[in-house]
Chain A
Amino acid sequence: MAKESGKYPIKHLIGFLLSIVLTLLSVWAALGSDLPVIWIIAAIMLLAVIQAGIQLFMFMHMVETKGVGHAPWNMMFHSFVVATIIVSGSLFTMSFGFTHDHDGEGNHQHEEQQEMQKDHSGH
């Protein structure tokens, strides 16, 4: 810390502001814009990728060369594994092979993920 005491952390400040701007953008895309849903999802995904890039390159020591070794790559690998488990695991669990019997006549229907997003008040 002592060596950097005179240096203004300009890189971190820009990264911080950028990530806030990106977050506000995606909030606006979801709440304020009139874009079709598919475009909103695509836009938010794109913003998320840029956001992740900012985090990795401006905060997570991706560009540092000495003293960090494989740590960033290690953590990225594990994070991707966990993210994959969370996303694909949720899709798998929450949408696969549901049988619903709410009309009482044993009328089993296979429900796909698309239908899961519809109204659930009947379940």
Chain B
Amino acid sequence: MQLDEFFVTGEPLIYGGMVAIALVTSAILFILTYFKKWGWLWREWLTTVDHKKIGIMYILSALAMLFRGGADALMMRTQLAFPNMQFLNAQHYDEIFTTHGTVMIIFMAMPFLIGLMNIIVPLQIGARDFAFPFVNALSFWSFFFGAMLFNISFVIGGAPDAGWTSYTPLAGAAMSPGPGQNFYLMGLQLSGIGTLATGINLMVTILKMRAPGMTLFKMPIFTWSTFITSFIIVFAFPILTVALALMTIDRIFGSQFFTLTGEGMPMMWANLFWMWGHPEVYIVILPAFGIFSEVIATFARKRLFGYNAMVWSIILIAGLSFLVWVHHFFTMGAGAFVNSVFSITTMLIAVPTGVKIFNWLATLYKSRIVLTVPMLWSLAFIPSFVIGGVTGVMLGMAATDYQYHNTYFLVSHFHYVLIPGTVFACFAGLVYWYPKMFGHKLNERIGKWSFWLFLIGFHVCFFPQYFLGLDGMARRIFTITPEWFTLNFISTMGAFMMGLAFAIFVYCIYYSYRYSEREISGDAWGYGRTLEWATPTPIPAYNFATVPQVNTHDAFLEMKEKGKTTFDEENLEPIHMPNNTGKPFIMMGILFFASFFLVFEWITLAVIGLIGGLVMMIIRSFDYDDGHHIEVDEIKRTERAARGL
């Protein structure tokens, strides 16, 4: 293989990307070496099994991916506003919408939410870590290396260009030769290991490690939504794993599962993909609902209205999410009966979702709302998401879907559910729990600027797209006719407003790091209701010196009333904690290289890498690391310092 086949050549933008990657990488290497931080990086982060640190790494990676996916979006919007400027050609545009979709769903939305779950769920249920801390670290590194593998594709080998849905036959070897599509397959496969493992891990953690007295129906609602999400992950992700494996075998070893030739069934890919893909959208929306519920209850200063109805509607949504997948391809040509069945199940989902919307409104009703930044994100979510939901029901009617299918109406719809749903929730959750993670709040004034700019930018960007869709503009086209120009131009302005809002948000993180007041109490907002606010800030490695007895739904509220803390000096016992380990990082690093070789179909090297991964598993199997104990004296010292006693 020639070097110019290995690296992508001939695109000025991509040369720019290469230079940027080289500069950032050497800057990071220089800073780490100059400030002698390599040891710190290895000891404190790369080998950590602490759920709080892993959560922070998840969120930082997700923010980086949000930047990448956002940059893709801005490039697409630039091209569509000025189609004659030849900013992107058709091929490059195809690559960019593919990576935008994949990065945003798989490497931004999910890791961001999993990061928040990582940090918050053990704190909310009174646990000291995940049930399987080693596996948790493994999950993170599998996601991280999967994301890196996918992200290098645009400079090495060429990016995938068959859409984030990667439909066959287009994505098959016959029509998409070369490594591009393999990057999609292996990137998703590698990070999928981590997602599946996290699903199992969270499920066990929530089932087995709750504080005494916390029955399932006394769990905070975010923990509930995480629990149900874990179920969806465990049942839906194997479908993706199998589908990806089948397509990998198709592309690399010449089998005919999804090909046009042989006895392949190309539409079977769409079928399998959406069997995973529809539950997937609930994987990213249910935790978001959980975050909004927590934020709304906290800043409305009321108990969440209709807690039981909320829980049951999450369960119902999760169940229905496995029964609606065909609505993504109504136009495939299955008969009217098939389409009608899936139309009805689709519209049924609107019922529990509506129940949730009304419960949030009822929580707000006659409450004394505190308008903080997380609350603003949550309040803005409700009406914005309803617009997305209503257009979703429109799309769900099979007969009308034939009109909307593959147009900007659909593009607008799913951005209207995913951005106010998932992205607003990520911002709300990050700002809300930020003081728990970093020991200081984000600046409210700058945060409000970024919120309003993002909200207005979002509506300016996506509302016109409904009308573009109704005017017949198809999705995934890189050039437009003059009649679509005005609305496209408005939409692009909105997109840049969102970009600016993100920049302001990042500045807000920097500004707050420099100037925000440091937190001294654990209950940063003063209105905390659930156990995560009972821990001191910074949170000790073991989270809870003594695990409190839980009697009500809002456990911390009761503790505040009774004057209790999680530091009961008389009942301290040594705490058993897991040891740090570099194995997850090394194992996933090896699998990264194995996947990379498989992308280029260098089978021998890939097999060697796979054997390396197996060797790491064997080493792990005979690893009888018992962890360590934190002694009572040390707990006392830590707690006294943190609580200012």
Contacts and interface: CB of A to CB of B under 8 A. Distances in A.
Nearest to A97: B335
B261 A121 contact: yes
B265 A100 contact: no
Interface stretch (B29-37, B83-91, B266-274, B445-453): B266-274
Nearest to A117: B263
Contact of B337 (A9, A90, A96, A100): A96
B355 to A, nearest CB: 23
Nearest to B274: A93
B338 A97 contact: yes
Contact of B334 (A2, A9, A98): A98
A118 interface: yes
Interface string B170-214: 000000000000000000000000000000000000010000000
A79 B231 CA distance: 11
Interface string A87-123: 0011011101111100000000000000011111100
A93 B334 contact: yes
B644 to A, nearest CB: 38
A63 interface: no
Given A78-B235, A96-B337, A120-B266, A85 B260 contact: no
A1 B323 CA distance: 41
Contacts, number: 61
Residue from B231, B323, B338 having most chain A Cβ neighbours under 10 A = B338
A5 interface: yes
Contacts of B268: 90, 94
A4 B275 CA distance: 41
B334 A97 contact: yes
Given A1-B624, A2-B624, A85 B322 contact: yes
Interface string A44-65: 0000000000000000000000
B275 A9 contact: no
Nearest to B323: A85
Given A1-B624, A1-B626, A82-B322, A116 B271 contact: no
Contact of B264 (A85, A92, A98, A120): A120
Given A1-B626, A97-B337, A118 B265 contact: no
A77 B333 CA distance: 33
Contacts of A94: 265, 267-268, 271, 334
Contact of B239 (A2, A86, A96, A120): A86
Interface in A5-20: 5, 9
Interface residues of B, number: 29
Given A116-B265, A119-B263, A120-B264, A92 B338 contact: yes
B336 A2 contact: no
A92 B326 CA distance: 10
A120 to B, nearest CB: 6
Contacts of B260: 120-121
A96 B621 CA distance: 48
A93 B265 contact: no
Nearest to B624: A5
B271 A93 contact: yes
Contacts of B624: 1-2, 5
B338 A93 contact: yes
Contacts of A93: 271, 326, 334, 338
Given A93-B338, A121-B261, A2 B626 contact: yes
A120 B235 CA distance: 30
Contacts of B263: 117-120
Contacts of A119: 263
A84 to B, nearest CB: 10
Contacts of B337: 96-97
A89 B265 contact: no
Contacts of B338: 92-93, 96-97
Contacts of B333: 98-100
Interface string B264-300: 1111100110010000000000000000000000000
Contacts of A82: 235, 322
Interface in B597-630: 621, 624-626
Contacts of B334: 93-94, 96-98
Interface string B291-321: 0000000000000000000000000000000
Nearest to B266: A120
A5 B621 CA distance: 11
A121 B172 CA distance: 14
A118 B235 CA distance: 31
Contacts of B271: 90, 93-94
A121 B261 CA distance: 6
Nearest to A121: B260
Contacts of B323: 85, 89
B239 A99 contact: no
Interface centre among A1, A78, A116, A120 (most CB of B within 10 A): A120
A85 B326 CA distance: 12
A78 B235 CA distance: 8
A37 B8 CA distance: 45
A85 to B, nearest CB: 6
Contacts of A89: 275, 323, 325
Contacts of B335: 96-99
A61 B316 CA distance: 29
A85 B239 CA distance: 11
A118 B260 CA distance: 11
A2 B629 CA distance: 15
A20 B260 CA distance: 31
A44 to B, nearest CB: 15
Contacts of B626: 1-2
Interface of A: 1-2, 5, 9, 71, 78-79, 82, 85-86, 89-90, 92-94, 96-100, 116-121
Given A94-B267, A97-B334, A120-B260, 16 more contacts: A1-B626, A2-B626, A78-B235, A86-B239, A89-B325, A93-B326, A93-B338, A96-B335, A97-B337, A98-B334, A99-B333, A117-B263, A118-B263, A120-B265, A120-B266, A121-B260
17 contacts: A1-B625, A1-B626, A78-B235, A85-B275, A85-B322, A85-B323, A89-B325, A90-B268, A90-B275, A92-B338, A93-B338, A94-B334, A97-B335, A117-B263, A118-B263, A120-B260, A121-B260
Q: Which 4 A-B pairs have the closest CB atoms?
A: A97-B335, A5-B624, A82-B235, A96-B338
